[in-house]
Amino acid sequence: MLKKNIISNNIKKGLKNFIFNILVYKFKINLKINLKMKNLLLIFLLTFSLGANAQYFSVTYINVSQEDVPEVARLETQYWSKVAKANIEAGNQLGWGLFAKVGGGSDSWTHAFINVFESIDQMMDQSIWNPQEIIGVSAEDISTSQYYNASAIHHYKIQGQVPGTDGTGAIWNFGRPENLQGFVQDNVKLWGPFFEKNDTGRTNWGIATKITGVNQSNATVMTWDGYDSVADAVKVLAGEGDNSGPSKSKAGEYMSNGFLARVVVQQVIWIQ
């Protein structure tokens, strides 16, 4: 009788262990599936967030002689920044800033204004630049255009970005890929999520396609890499920073000759 009870107990114990193992196995399978689905969902959300809600910006490239830089900087930071701030608060634009080019010759652009907008209609509306109405000073009294040796305006559409935080240094990359659509999608689907998930020293990143100012030889796309300082940006160009990227990227195939130019800029002022 005792032997039968022992056998019966062993059978029950074995059955319990068998059922327990089955449940654990099913739990692990479900956990793997759930984790996989969460990862797929995360990738989808990252990709969607980079491509949704397209924004636009204009870049006004200017060439200013060294002796005139202080006066231009004074007028822009003291007056025009207030106009831009009022426009942002009124919902007429999203951001405004002045950047100085680091290095390069005096025959190219030395500074650049960035204006960010929600739509093309906003971007093309010049009526918002009315300092007389906004700050009580006439545009003629605070004009800086007389200090420009040359200027040009290009308009862009943002295709993807990782906003992050603002640093004082950045690298602006200008390219002309043979396959523009492939290059943009590669950046949006691979590079953006890579920078989102990995610490590469960047404070922000983005890619935009040029709308105006395109000819048969100049850049059709621009990417930017933000850094905490100008020194950090220069180190990257010197091969001393983190230049890692997604292993499945085909950006090199889509733009086989690389970027036409990589320019380091320093933030003078940024308002958003």
Q: Check whether 94 has a pLDDT greater than 80.
A: yes
Identity of the residue numbered 24? V
Q: What average pLDDT does the segment 137-151 reach?
A: 96
Q: Do the beta carbons of residue 55 and residue 114 sit within 8 Å?
A: no
Q: Is 229 helix (H, G, I), strand (E, B) or coil?
A: coil
Q: Which helix (H) or strand (E) holds 30?
A: helix 2-51
Structural domain boundaries of the chain? 1-52, 54-271
Contacts of 30 (CB under 8 A, 6+ apart): none
Q: How far apart are CA 47 and CA 53, in angstroms?
A: 12
Q: Check whether 48 has a pLDDT greater than 90.
A: no
Q: What average pLDDT does the segment 219-229 reach?
A: 97
Q: Check whether 38 has a pLDDT greater than 70.
A: no
Q: What average pLDDT does the segment 27-39 reach?
A: 41
Handedness of CA 256, 257, 260, 266 (dihedral sign): positive
Contacts of 224 (CB under 8 A, 6+ apart): 170, 171, 172, 173, 204, 205, 206
Contacts of 174 (CB under 8 A, 6+ apart): 218, 219, 221, 222, 259, 260, 261, 262, 263
Q: Check whether 25 has a pLDDT greater than 80.
A: no
What is the percentage of the chain residues whose pLDDT exceeds 90? 75
From residue 70, alpha-carbon distances to 42, 65, 67, 100 in Å are 47, 10, 7, 12
Contacts of 272 (CB under 8 A, 6+ apart): 88, 94, 95, 96, 116
Predicted confidence at residue 6, as pLDDT, reads 40
Share the mean pLDDT of the chain: 85
Predicted confidence at residue 166, as pLDDT, reads 80
* Residues β-bridged to residue 99: 112, 267
Highest mean pLDDT among 4-8, 10-14, 122-126 belongs to: 122-126
Which is nearest to 182 in space by CA: 253, 111, 257, 263? 253
Q: How far apart are CA 100 and CA 166, in angstroms?
A: 15
Reported as a single tens digit per residue, the pLDDT across 192-206 is: 999 999 999 999 999
From residue 225, alpha-carbon distances to 66, 77, 228 in Å are 26, 24, 10
Residue written as token pair 């509306």: 125
Predicted confidence at residue 18, as pLDDT, reads 46
Q: Output the six-digit token pair for 44.
A: 């989808």
* Residues β-bridged to residue 156: 57, 210
Predicted confidence at residue 47, as pLDDT, reads 34
Q: Check whether 247 has a pLDDT greater than 90.
A: yes
**Residue 17 confidence class, pLDDT cut points 50, 70, 90:** low
**Residue 105 confidence class, pLDDT cut points 50, 70, 90:** confident
**Residue 4 confidence class, pLDDT cut points 50, 70, 90:** very low
**Residue 181 confidence class, pLDDT cut points 50, 70, 90:** very high
- Does residue 218 or residue 36 have the better pLDDT? 218
Q: CATH class for domain 54-271?
A: alpha beta
Q: Check whether 184 has a pLDDT greater than 70.
A: yes
Predicted confidence at residue 107, as pLDDT, reads 77
Q: Is 207 helix (H, G, I), strand (E, B) or coil?
A: strand
- Does residue 133 or residue 37 have the better pLDDT? 133
From the CB of residue 100, how many other CB atoms can be counted at a distance below 10 Å?
16
What is the percentage of the chain residues whose pLDDT exceeds 70? 80
- Does residue 242 or residue 51 have the better pLDDT? 242
Predicted confidence at residue 106, as pLDDT, reads 73
